[in-house]
Homo-oligomer: A and B are copies of this chain.
Amino acid sequence: MKENGIGPGQIIRRQQDGTFEYQRDDLTVEEPLEIRIGDKTVATTMRTPGNDDELAVGFLLSEAIIRSGDVIEKFSRPASARNRDNIIRVHLAAGVKVKLNSGQRFRTISSSCGLCGKESIDAIRQSFAPIRSISIRMEIATLLRLPAELRANQSEFARTGGIHAAGIFDFSGKALTVREDIGRHNAVDKVIGRSFLDRKLPLDRHVLIVSGRASFEIMQKALAAGIPIVASVSAPSTLAMEFARESNQTLIGFLRPPTFNIYSHVERVVLE
């Protein structure tokens, strides 16, 4: 080992046997993405680069700034900006009315943040209608398969390191989209953004599974995409549960086969 510390791209790892070794730093990249509608900055979020178009659309959708029927003409990067890779411009088709009200603040959002910038708690309870009841129900066997399916669709690093995954599956357990990001909200924005771009909204016969906690904001994003079932391998928050009950969403937590918890709207799961 060198005597004087850690070089660029390097880390020091203590091994099982107590010896030390220099290793390559392979941390998940976290960089800002500035989301613009045309020339207007809407938000800046800390994200793992990649699928920026999906992330932008998923974010705008779950903030109710655009609606599922809106048409996006194209995406672009500013021609001259210094950090052009960290800026994405969304160009809406002529006639699309953006719901950016004057109270909308420009803000920076942590990679782990979903509610940032809301001025009041009431503003959090966004303007999405509850899920309409449908007769589709999910089998337990399908539900139990989801965590393994999610992992199978993740990268090697994601399975071991500090990155979150979100996946959208149909009721037969088939993966529609799986995305990763250092922020769990971003991973969800990416999967619902992809679905928007593929004109698959509302996802009323699908389930969203997330590798992290199911917070309130995750439920809200799912609702924005019309998703009736959300499953988390970890804990939901109390607000997530309350929101799910109000929004007619089925919330599954601690999905660790063979066990899991159902927090709301059990009628969408075939228990017998």
Interface on A for B, CB 8 Å cutoff? 1, 5-6, 11-16, 18, 20, 23, 25, 27-32, 44, 46, 105-121, 123-124, 140, 161-163, 182, 184, 213, 215-217, 234-241, 253, 258-267, 271
Contact = CB atoms under 8 A, between A and B. Distances in A.
10 contacts: A11-B253, A12-B266, A12-B271, A13-B261, A16-B259, A30-B215, A107-B116, A110-B112, A111-B215, A111-B237
Contact of A113 (B6, B28, B113): B113
Contacts of A240: 30
Given A29-B238, A109-B113, A241-B25, A258 B120 contact: no
A267 B29 CA distance: 25
Contact of A109 (B116, B161, B238): B116
Contacts of A110: 110, 112-116, 215, 217
A238 B14 contact: no
A265 B6 CA distance: 7
Given A121-B32, A123-B108, A217-B110, A162 B266 contact: no
A46 B215 CA distance: 11
